């Protein structure tokens, strides 16, 4: 079992604002090397939201090399191996954005996602954030530290391989019907479940490019919900963050709150239809949004960060 587990932390909502990167090298099923780089983002701009998540402040990276300065060392670790990340679309997006911003030619990377692997390996578990999966597997780590997250990610994949009784990445992916992702000069293709072959009589579904966007639920009369959706897609401020909601809400419907979170890149801990059944935020929650019952119990400085519905709209979508 050979791969390299990676994890990025970012300074703000921009994908090219990496401030920490870790890489854990696994060879023959054993962790053989651990690497971690503090990175000075360009520009040196940190969001208070991100600082509260990972605890890295501008002064900690002000004298560190930028991504280009670290790249020769990073490239030696990442090249010629399958990259693994938990919620891989986020980490690969950050990697590609940093390469582009620093005008570095992008190599071809193959990668897979332990979130997808965990869902296919343990389909009955229900929650697939890195923290709940690690707790299930008795993996202890400090969440939102890039090195700790990378080690946990590697251990999750090794546990999945043990569960499936396989010894290589290829046989693990085959056993789970997972197709590896690839990113490089030719573009990006995400890791995904292998599609079943369609019969001749099956109607061809619309392509992603041609398929119409689903009509959102009707919004409150005082809000232009479609404008909020466009704003959310532009900001993407919740990318890769676990979000828990607890209603009831007064300004928007729960389904609309969920739609905005998804457009902002957030990962919902529960469906809107199950809202009344889940009162307590899961342990891996980064942000919780509460309705008219007020803030949840606990330290409002987080994590998790707690917003009322009004604060969510003001902070994230510029209401």
* Residue 28: domain span: 3-193
Q: Are both 36 and 182 inside the same structural domain? A: yes
Question: Which two structure tokens, joined as six digits, stand for 92?
Answer: 């690969």
pLDDT at 289 (0 to 100): 84
One domain for residues 32 and 180: yes
Taking alpha carbons only, the member of 140, 83, 142 closest to residue 113 is: 83
Give yes or no: residues 251 and 123 share one domain. no
Domains identified in the chain, total number: 2
| Whole-number Å distance between alpha carbons of 259 and 264 | 9
Has residue 219 been placed in a domain? no
Assign residue 164 the CATH number of its domain: 3.30.420.10
Are 156 and 12 members of one domain? yes
Q: What is the pLDDT of residues 231-280, one digit of tens each?
A: 777 777 788 788 888 878 888 888 888 888 888 888 887 554 455 444 56
| Claim to verify: residue 161 and residue 242 sit in the same structural domain | no
115-119, 289-293, 308-312 — most confident range:
115-119
User: Which CATH number belongs to the domain containing residue 244 in this structure?
Assistant: 3.40.50
Other Cβ atoms closer than 10 A to 134 = 24
**Is position 207 within any domain?**
no
**Choice between 242 and 162, residue whose per-residue pLDDT is larger:** 162
SS3 labels along 129-183:
CHHHHHHHCCCCCCCCCHHHHHHHHHHHHHHHHHHHCCCCHHHHHHHHCEECEEE
Quote the CA–CA distance of 191 and 173 in Å, as a whole number. Answer: 10
Cβ atoms of 109 and 73 closer than 8 Å: no
| Residue 99 maps to a domain | yes
Residue 167 domain-assigned (yes or no): yes
Summarised one tens digit per residue, pLDDT across range 295-307 is 544 444 456 788 8
* Judgement on whether residues 148 and 295 belong to the same structural domain of the protein: no
Band (223; pLDDT cuts 50, 70, 90)? low
Within this chain, do residues 154 and 259 fall inside the same structural domain, yes or no? Answer: no
**Largest Cα–Cα distance in the chain?**
62
Residue 231 shares a structural domain with residue 164: no
Predicted pLDDT of residue 231 = 74
Query: Is residue 209's pLDDT more than 60?
Result: no
């Amino acid at each position: 079992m050979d791969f390299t587990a990676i994890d990025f932390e970012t300074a703000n909502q921009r994908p090219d604002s990496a401030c920490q990167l870790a890489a854990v090298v696994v060879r023959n099923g054993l962790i053989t090397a651990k690497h971690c780089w503090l990175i000075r983002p360009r520009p040196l701009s940190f969001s208070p939201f991100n600082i509260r998540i990972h605890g890295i402040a501008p002064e900690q990276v002000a004298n560190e090399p930028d991504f280009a300065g670290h790249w020769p060392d990073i490239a030696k670790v990442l090249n010629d191996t399958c990259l693994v990340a938990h919620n891989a679309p986020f980490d690969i997006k950050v990697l590609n954005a940093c390469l582009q911003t620093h005008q570095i030619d992008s190599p071809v990377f193959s990668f897979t996602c332990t979130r997808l692997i965990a869902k296919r390996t343990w389909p009955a578990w229900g929650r697939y954030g890195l923290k709940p999966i690690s707790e299930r597997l008795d993996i202890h780590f400090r969440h939102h530290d890039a090195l700790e997250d990378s080690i946990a990610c590697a251990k999750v994949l090794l546990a999945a391989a043990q569960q499936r009784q396989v010894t290589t990445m290829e046989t693990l992916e085959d056993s789970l019907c997972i197709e590896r992702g690839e990113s490089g000069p030719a573009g990006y293709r995400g890791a995904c479940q292998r599609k079943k072959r369609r019969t001749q009589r099956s109607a061809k579904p619309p392509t992603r490019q041609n398929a119409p966007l689903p009509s959102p639920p009707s919004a409150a009369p005082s809000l232009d919900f479609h404008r909020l959706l466009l704003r959310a897609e532009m900001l993407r401020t919740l990318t890769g963050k676990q979000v828990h909601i607890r209603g009831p809400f007064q300004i928007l419907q729960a389904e609309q709150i969920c739609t905005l979170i998804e457009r902002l890149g957030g990962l919902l801990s529960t469906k809107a239809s199950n809202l009344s059944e889940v009162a307590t935020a899961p342990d891996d929650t980064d942000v919780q949004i509460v309705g008219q019952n007020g803030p949840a119990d606990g330290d409002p400085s987080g994590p998790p960060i707690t917003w009322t519905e009004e604060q969510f709209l003001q902070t994230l979508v510029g209401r």
